[in-house]
């Protein structure tokens, strides 16, 4: 059916609402008591995570196996298996959640499917071994609200992820979806819409933090019959997956927000520029767009208001620089994704020379809620200058890898130690990297700064799009800087000299340092080059590209100095500075290592301690992995 | 140079794809995606054909193909392998996994084994950071890969 009025939309909501009632964690039906058909529960829903992370561990197979089970046991009329977006707790995936008793199962496998159905869904007994165990108290926790990972989170942009079926637009509508659009079209002028976004204090979540309302305002002031609204979904920061999870878990929120913006700035066309590496996100976006078109929420004369808006998808093709908005626009035009100087800003001259407003996925996802709950509600969350929440992809050497959303102003310590559960394997925290290749590495002394645009910038990093990678004592910071610089050199579009050549020279210097041939003069050169690139590169990406080097130089100078002065790598990652040695006390002269050594670098009489000729050793580590007496070590 | 190396069906496929996008040069990237999906890779002859259909210089097509990492001018192996070198995988040692794959197969990144079975590439983040370090073969994700497991994983595909 086509929705042609607010009443139609309300009708769909009313029809779809019962489907979501079971999933409402605050409804009286939801409780601690285990539900089960034999205990008299009338209806049960089983949610399985259909995000990329859990899918990699065969969550689709789990859903299929459970579906087969409920059919085999003849309970398919009372039990529903629903695939949702990402729950966030990727470390413990695949996740399966049973409603209405709110039981959160972790690390589920296909083999567990039958037990969950038989024991829990039918019998009403929780499968204890699949529950999350609190590492501190060793107590099994069934309700995710009581897990440290979730306790401090506030989910606004991720409000529907892990809750609704992203391929069913009716579930989105049941969560008040498209009511913000209806409200704007029916009751607000474009100017009032822009004012609401301005009042909320929302700033761009793609990295730079430009006020979203102002951006819309600029685009609305450009005089043109044709304008474009663009969603930047070219999430290029390696190790960040916030935008992907939103597209996979709640694609309609992006579509609704883009339509609202279209109304506000006077645009009829929307484009989503998404990475081709995200096939699932593309599929879910396409599904959502076609469902919205079927309902008349995209297309001509939306809700009978005369406003028309439609969205098409453009694919990226693997270029980090295309996250920069002018490069992104060129890429959408079918050209090389090279940035151009601003001004002219896209709001004046963008896609095909028409005024264009570009916002990032997470920014879009915040828009509908701002209208549902009001700009004051939104601006009451967060800090003075950074409002609302921020989604982070928490990864690296941390216990709870996953997707989190916290109010601005939360400290890094809270994120890493409370939500993240601390450092893996009891190792010592060394650094946390925020902002991806444009950001920086922060240390122990920064752990208590609040997360907001200004504080992170002042500490030498940046908010960025939301990658947060934790490193421990085993990570060499010189190598980390080299890793990011290698990424930049590979991804530099080559248009401007400072970025193309300057970063290459910096990488050569870092190569020299990790090869054990660096000097103190090299460190000075690094700093000088970094400063020049920062001052002279053409686009935002080029200007921020030296940040990983500058921040590690500022915060880990002693490690750099050790590398150049003493030729020592404390994290034992720079192979040129390490030697394999045999402990004569432990070696029994079994000769196995000598036999396995491909370089014939090990010599010794049988039953006598052996030695390694360092000139011949190629440091392959074969001896170490073959020695049964642990007599060989790397120092 | 005429497209003497291309089969008739490939020529027709490229023509159809371009026509489906109204031979619009602004659609070049979408056209190249579909062409690569159909033919597996984008050799020079195909690029010239696309250029001809869209009425743009072949240099512009090649400029785009060579700019974007996703496009390849060489055929991939039967089982394409990708090692994730995203930051999350890197700090958990995916560089060591890459070294081991290179050792076992005897090829460098971007190459295909002489028997055409495996090709090796790197990518930045498949989004399964909870399983880091990860590698993908034929699009299937292998998580928590230890360099010691590499040989065993690869043997299953031979």
Inform me whether the C-beta atom of residue B127 falls under 8 Å from chain A C-beta atoms: yes
Q: Considering only alpha carbons, which residue of chain B is nearest residue A91? A: B130
pLDDT for the residue B124: 81
- A-chain residues within 8 Å CB-CB of B69? 317-319
User: How large a percentage of chain A has pLDDT more than 70?
Assistant: 99
d(CA A62, CA A124): 20
Host H or E run for residue A65: helix A59-72
Q: Give contacts of A470 with chain B, Cβ < 8 Å.
A: 91
Cβ of B69 within 8 Å of Cβ of A318? The answer is yes
Residue with tokens 């700093």: A527
Pick from A56, A318, A433: which is nearest to B87 by CB? A433
| Pick from A273, A265, A262, A260: nearest CA to A232 | A273
Cα distance between residue B106 and residue A227, in whole Å: 52
Chain A residue with CA closest to B24: the answer is: A334
Residue A53: which of A280, A330, A364 has the closest Cα? A280
Residues A97-153 have pLDDT tens digits of: 999 889 999 999 999 999 999 999 999 999 999 999 999 899 999 999 889 999 999
Taking residues A586-597, what's their average pLDDT? 93
Q: What is the mean pLDDT of residues A377-388?
A: 97
Q: Which fold is adopted by the domain A176-379?
A: Rossmann fold (3.40.50)
Is there a contact between A115 and A129 (Cβ–Cβ < 8 Å)? no
Q: How far apart are the C-alpha atoms of A45 and A96, rounded to whole Å?
A: 10
Could A471 and B91 be called an inter-chain contact, meaning their C-beta atoms sit closer than 8 Å?
yes
B83 CB near a chain A CB, below 8 Å?
Answer: no
| Rg, Å, chain B Cα set | 18
How many cross-chain Cβ pairs, A to B, lie less than 8 Å apart?
Answer: 132
Residue A26: the pLDDT is: 64
Classified as helix, coil or strand, B52 is helix
Q: Do domains A17-148 and A477-566 have the same CATH topology?
A: no
Distance from the A560 Cα atom to the nearest Cα atom in chain B, whole angstroms: 18
- Count Cβ atoms below 10 Å from residue B97 Cβ, excluding itself: 25
Which SS3 state, helix, strand or coil, does residue A145 take?
Answer: helix
Nearest in space to A217 (alpha carbons), one of A202, A188, A200, A197: A197
Among B66, B91, B122, B148, pick the best mutation site for testing chain A contact (most A Cβ within 10 A): B91
pLDDT at A27: 52
**Which candidate from B71, B123, B130 shows the least CB-CB separation from A402?**
B130
Taking 60 as the threshold, does the pLDDT of residue A65 lie above it?
Answer: yes
* Cβ distance of A335 and B30 shorter than 8 Å: no
Cα–Cα distance for residue pair A138/A144, rounded to 1 Å: 15
Min Cα–Cα distance to chain B from A495, Å: 12
Determine the CATH number of domain B79-155.
Answer: 3.40.30.10
The segments of chain B whose pLDDT lies below 70 read 1-4
Helix B58-67 and helix B44-54, axial crossing angle in degrees, nearest 10: 120
So what's the pLDDT on residue A635? Answer: 83
For A278, which residue in chain B has the nearest alpha carbon?
B126
Cβ contact A315–B33 (<8 Å): yes
DSSP letter, residue A34:
P
Residue A527 near residue A510, CB atoms below 8 Å: no
Inter-chain residue contact B128 with A52, CB threshold 8 Å: yes
pLDDT given for residue B52 in this prediction? 96
For A307-339, give the DSSP string. EEEEEEEEE--S-GGGGSHHHHHHHHTTS----
Please tell me if residue B128 touches chain A, with a CB cutoff of 8 Å: yes
Record: contact A238-B143, CB cut-off 8 A: no
Spell out a b/e string for A624-634, using b for 16 or more CB atoms within 10 Å of the CB, else e.
Answer: beebeeebbee
pLDDT tens-digit readout, A153-176? 999 999 999 999 999 999 999 999
| Cα gap B150→B158, rounded to integer Å | 13
The pair of structure tokens assigned to A594 is: 């000598």
> Does B104 touch chain A if contact means CB atoms closer than 8 Å?
no
d(CA A264, CA A283): 28
Give pLDDT tens digits for A552-568: 999 999 999 999 999 99
The answer to whether B51 contacts chain A (CB < 8 Å) is: no
Mean pLDDT computed over A429-443: 93
CA nearest to B72 within chain A: A317
Distances (CA, A) of A8 to A17, A187, A236, A289, A296: 14, 17, 40, 19, 11
Helices within A107-202 (DSSP H only): 113-115, 148-151, 169-174, 179-187, 190-200
The end-to-end CA distance of chain A, in Å, is: 71
Residues of A (210-269) whose Cβ lies below 8 Å from B: 236-241, 244-245
| Whole-number Å distance between alpha carbons of A38 and A40 | 5
pLDDT at A595 over 60: yes
Q: How far apart are CA A561 and CA A76, in angstroms?
A: 66
- Taking the Cβ of residue B130 and every Cβ of chain A, the question of whether any pair is shorter than 8 Å is answered with yes
Those residues whose C-beta lies under 8 Å from the C-beta of residue A188, and which sit 6 or more positions away, are: A196
Q: Which long-range contacts (CB under 8 A, 24 or more apart) does A105-109 make?
A: A105/A130, A105/A131, A106/A130, A106/A131, A106/A132, A108/A59, A108/A62, A109/A57, A109/A58, A109/A62
Model ipTM value? 0.90
Whether chain B has a CB inside 8 Å of the CB on A173: the answer is no
Q: What is the DSSP letter of A589?
A: -
A502, exposed or middle or buried, with CB in 10 Å at 0-12, 13-18, 19+? buried
A307-315 and A269-274 strand pairing = parallel
Give A623→chain B minimum CA distance, Å: 14
Is any Cβ of chain B less than 8 angstroms from the Cβ of A331?
yes
Q: Do A277 and B141 touch (CB under 8 A)?
A: no
Mutate: best of A53, A244, A472, partner B, most B CBs <10 A: A53
DSSP string, A440-468: EEE-GGGTTSB-SHHHHHHTT----SSEE
| Beta carbons of A421 and A399 less than 8 angstroms apart | yes
CB atoms within 10 A of CB B148: 10
Range A17-148 has CATH code 3.40.30.10: yes
Q: Which of B67, B125, B141 sits opposite A239 (nearest CB)?
A: B125
Give the residue on B whose Cα is nearest the Cα of A332.
B26
Tell whether the torsion through CA atoms of A19, A25, A27 and A33 is positive or negative.
positive
A282 pLDDT exceeds 90?
yes
- What per-residue confidence (pLDDT) applies to B86? 87
Which of B86, B89, B128 lies nearest to residue A53, judging by beta carbons? Answer: B128
Q: How far is A99 from chain B (nearest CA, A)?
A: 25
A334/B contact by beta carbon, under 8 A: yes
pLDDT of residue B2: 45
What the block records as the tokens of A182 is 């209806």
How close is the nearest chain B Cα to the Cα of A356, in Å?
A: 16
d(CA A537, CA A551): 18
A621: contact with B, CB 8 A cutoff: no
Q: Which of A320, A334, A398 to mutate to test the interface with B (most CBs of B within 10 A)?
A: A334
Chain A residues closer than 8 Å to B148 by CB: 625
Q: Cα separation of A236 and A435, whole Å?
A: 11
Counts for chain A of helices (H) and strands (E), in that order: 26, 20
CA A383 to CA A409: how far, in whole Å? 6
Nearest Cα neighbor of A439 from A239, A143, A219 is A239
pLDDT at A29: 47
Q: Which architecture does CATH list for A579-634?
A: 2-Layer Sandwich (3.30)
Indicate yes or no: CB of A239 within 8 angstroms of CB of B33.
Answer: no
**Does any CB of chain A come closer than 8 Å to the CB of residue B91?**
yes
Among partner residues A237, A336, A471, which is closest to B67 by beta-carbon distance? A336
pLDDT value for B3 = 45
Residues of B in contact with A240 (CB under 8 A): 125
Contacts of A320 in chain B (CB under 8 A): 124
> Minimal Cα–Cα distance from B74 to chain A, Å?
16
Q: Please list every residue in chain B whose beta carbon sits closer than 8 Å to the beta carbon of residue A421.
A: none
> SS3 for A533?
helix
Nearest to A468 by CA among A551, A392, A361, A552: A392
- Residues 6+ positions from A291 with CB-CB distance below 8 Å: A168, A169
The interaxial angle of helices A251-265 and A179-187, nearest 10 deg, is: 10
- Reported as a single tens digit per residue, the pLDDT across A221-237 is 999 999 999 999 998 88
Does residue A28 register a pLDDT over 80? no
pLDDT tier, A314 (very low <50, low <70, confident <90, very high otherwise): very high
Query: Nearest C-alpha of chain B: how many angstroms from A261?
Result: 24
User: Percent helix, strand, coil in chain A (nearest 5)?
Assistant: 45, 15, 40
Contact criterion met (CB below 8 Å) for B87 and B132: no
Helix (H) or strand (E) holding B58: helix B58-67
Mean pLDDT of chain A: 94
Domain coordinates in residue numbering, chain A: 17-148, 176-379, 389-472, 477-566, 579-634
CATH fold for the domain made of A477-566: de novo design (two linked rop proteins) (1.20.1440)
Burial class (CB in 10 A: 0-12, 13-18, 19+), A490: middle
CA dist A326 and A333 (Å) reads 11
A488 contact partners, CB below 8 Å, separation of at least 6: A437, A499, A503, A545
Q: How far, in Å, CA of A87 to CA of A54, rounded? A: 9
Note the CATH architecture for domain A389-472.
Answer: Roll (3.10)
């Amino acid at each position: 059916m086509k929705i042609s009025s607010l009443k139609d939309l309300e009708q769909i909501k009313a029809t779809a609402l019962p489907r979501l009632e079971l999933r409402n964690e605050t409804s009286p039906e939801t409780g601690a008591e285990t539900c089960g058909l034999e205990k008299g529960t009338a209806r049960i829903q089983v949610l399985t995570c259909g995000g990329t992370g859990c899918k990699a561990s065969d969550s689709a197979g789990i859903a299929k196996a459970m579906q087969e089970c409920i059919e085999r046991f003849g309970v398919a009329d009372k039990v529903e298996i629903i695939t949702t977006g990402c729950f966030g707790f990727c470390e413990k995936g695949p996740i399966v959640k049973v409603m209405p008793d709110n039981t959160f199962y972790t690390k589920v496998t296909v083999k567990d499917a039958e037990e969950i159905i038989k024991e829990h869904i039918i019998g009403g007994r929780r499968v204890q071994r699949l529950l999350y165990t609190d590492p501190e108290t060793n107590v099994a926790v069934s309700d995710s609200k009581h897990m440290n990972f979730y306790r401090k989170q506030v989910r606004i942009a991720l409000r529907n992820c892990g809750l609704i079926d992203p391929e069913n637009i009716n579930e989105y509508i049941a969560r008040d979806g498209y009511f913000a659009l209806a409200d704007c079209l029916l009751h607000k002028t474009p100017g009032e819409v822009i004012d609401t976004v301005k009042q909320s204090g929302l700033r761009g979540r793609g990295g730079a933090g430009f006020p979203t309302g102002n951006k819309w305002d600029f685009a609305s002031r450009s005089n043109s019959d044709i304008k474009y609204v663009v969603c930047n979904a070219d999430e290029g920061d390696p190790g960040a997956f916030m935008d992907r999870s939103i597209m996979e878990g709640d694609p309609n929120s992006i579509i609704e927000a883009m339509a609202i913006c279209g109304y506000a700035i006077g645009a009829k066309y929307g484009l989503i520029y998404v990475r081709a590496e995200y096939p699932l996100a593309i599929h879910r976006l396409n599904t959502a767009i076609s469902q919205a078109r079927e309902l008349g929420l995209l297309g001509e004369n939306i809700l009978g208001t005369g406003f028309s808006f439609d969205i098409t998808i453009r694919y990226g093709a693997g270029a980090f620089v295309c996250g920069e908005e002018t490069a992104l626009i060129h890429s959408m035009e079918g050209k090389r994704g090279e940035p151009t100087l601003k001004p002219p800003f896209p709001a004046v001259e963008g896609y095909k020379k028409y005024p264009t407003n570009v916002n990032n996925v997470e920014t879009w996802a915040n828009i509908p809620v701002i209208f549902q709950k009001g700009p004051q509600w939104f601006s009451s969350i967060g800090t003075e200058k950074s409002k609302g929440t921020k989604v982070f992809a928490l990864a690296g050497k941390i216990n709870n890898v996953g997707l989190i959303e916290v109010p601005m102003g939360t400290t890094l310590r809270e994120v890493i130690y409370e939500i993240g559960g601390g450092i893996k394997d009891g190792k010592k925290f060394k650094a946390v990297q925020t902002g991806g290749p444009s950001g920086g590495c922060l240390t122990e002394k920064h752990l208590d700064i609040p997360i907001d645009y200004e504080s992170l910038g002042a500490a030498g990093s940046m908010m960025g799009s939301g990658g947060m990678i934790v490193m421990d004592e085993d990570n060499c910071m010189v190598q980390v800087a080299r890793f990011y610089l290698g990424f930049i050199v590979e991804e530099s579009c080559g248009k401007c000299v400072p970025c193309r050549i300057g970063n290459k020279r910096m990488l050569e210097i870092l190569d020299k340092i990790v090869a054990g041939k660096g000097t103190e003069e090299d460190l000075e050169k690094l700093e000088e080059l970094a400063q020049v690139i920062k001052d002279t590169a053409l686009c935002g990406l080029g200007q921020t590209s030296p940040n990983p080097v500058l921040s590690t130089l500022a915060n880990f100078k002693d490690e750099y100095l050790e590398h150049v002065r003493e030729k020592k790598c404390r994290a034992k990652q720079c192979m040129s500075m390490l030697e394999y040695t045999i402990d004569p006390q432990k070696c029994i002269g079994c000769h196995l290592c000598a036999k396995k050594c491909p370089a014939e670098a090990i010599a010794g009489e049988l039953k006598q301690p052996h030695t390694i000729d360092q000139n011949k050793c190629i440091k392959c580590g074969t001896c170490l992995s073959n020695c049964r007496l642990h007599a060989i070590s790397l120092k | 140079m005429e497209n003497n190396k291309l089969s008739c069906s490939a020529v027709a496929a490229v023509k159809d794809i371009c026509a489906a996008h109204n031979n619009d040069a602004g659609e070049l990237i979408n056209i190249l995606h579909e062409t690569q999906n159909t033919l597996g890779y984008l050799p020079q002859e195909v690029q010239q054909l696309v250029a001809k259909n869209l009425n743009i210089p072949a240099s512009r097509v090649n400029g785009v193909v060579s700019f974007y990492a996703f496009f390849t001018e060489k055929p991939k192996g039967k089982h394409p392998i990708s090692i994730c070198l995203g930051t999350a995988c890197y700090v958990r040692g995916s560089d060591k996994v890459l070294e081991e794959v290179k050792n076992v197969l005897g090829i460098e990144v971007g190459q295909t084994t002489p028997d055409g079975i495996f090709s090796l590439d790197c990518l930045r983040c498949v989004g399964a950071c909870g399983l880091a370090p990860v590698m993908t073969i034929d699009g299937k994700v292998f998580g928590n890969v230890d360099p010691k497991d590499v040989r065993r994983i690869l043997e299953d595909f031979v």
